[in-house]
Amino acid sequence: MATKAEEQQSQAGRHQEVGHKSLLQSDALYQYILETSVYPREPEPMKELREITAKHPWNLMTTSADEGQFLNMLLKLINAKNTMEIGVYTGYSLLATALALPDDGKILAMDVNRENYELGLPVIQKAGVAHKIDFKEGPAMPFLDELVQDEKNHGSFDFIFVDADKDNYINYHKRLIELVKVGGLIGYDNTLWNGSVVAPPDAPLRKYVRYYRDFVLELNKALAVDPRIEICMLPVGDGITLCRRIK
C-alpha cells in the first residue's frame, strides 16, 4: 500500500491541464513538454482561445496545445494553402491552421454546432485570420458528397484534418481520399483513443470510450492496408494518424 507521502507525490505529478490528452505515462513529463516547448511559443490568440475553451463544459473535446503546435508546424512544412477541417468545436486547431496558412489560404470548416465555433470566433477575428475560414454548419457527409460530385474538387486539398464523429471516420475516408491531392495529407485525430485500442475486452472503460473504440480500431486496420496512402501514427495528443496520398 502506498504511503501518504507517495500518494502526495503522485498527486503533485498528476497533470492538471483541462483537456489533457497525453498518452505519456508521466504527467510530469508532459507538463515539461508544455512548459518548455509549447507554451513559450504558443501564439497569444491560441493561448487566449485555449483559456476560453478550458471554461467550457465539453473542454475535453479540444485539441491539445502540443498537437496544435504540431499541426501549425506541419502545415508550414508542406506549404499548405487549401485545407479542410471536419470537427471544429471552439476552433483551437482551426486557429492553429489559419495562423499557418498564407494570407490567401483557405479552410473549409465543418461542424454540427455553430454555437461552439462562435465561442472562439472573436479570438479568430482579432487574430486577423477569419477571412481564411468558410464555416459550414451541419453534418459533414452531405457537404463532402457535394464536393465529390464536382470533379474540379478532386485532388484540390493540400491538407485535411478530421476530429469528429468516430463512427463516420471510415465514411469520411472514402470521400476525402478523392479530395486530397496526390502528395497531400489527411490527419485523423484520436486514433489511439485514450489508449483503449490495446485494452482487453473486459477492461473498465467509460461508456463513450468503449462505444467508439471499435470504430477507431476499424479505421486503423483499414488505413494500414490502404494502398493509396502512406501512413504514420503518432502518439501526439490522443493519437493522430497522418495519411499521405500517393496515388
Q: What is the pLDDT of residues 116-153, one digit of tens each?
A: 999 999 999 999 999 999 999 999 999 999 999 999 99
Strands 157-162 and 82-86: parallel
Q: How many residues does the chain have?
A: 247
Alpha-carbon separation of residue 64 from 45, 60, 102, 166, 195 (angstroms): 15, 9, 23, 18, 16
The 10s digit of each residue's pLDDT in 171-195 is 999 999 999 999 999 999 999 998 8
- Cβ within 8 Å of residue 117, ≥6 positions away: 88, 89, 90, 91, 109, 111, 135, 137
- Cβ within 8 Å of residue 195, ≥6 positions away: 23
Residue 175 DSSP code: H
User: H/E element holding 231?
Assistant: strand 229-234
The 10s digit of each residue's pLDDT in 74-84 is 999 999 999 99
Alpha-carbon span 220 to 173, nearest angstrom? 11
Helices (H) and strands (E) in the chain — how many of each? 9, 7
Does residue 98 carry a pLDDT above 50?
yes
The 10s digit of each residue's pLDDT in 193-227 is 988 999 888 888 888 889 899 999 999 999 999 99
> What is the mean pLDDT of the segment spanning 150-165?
98
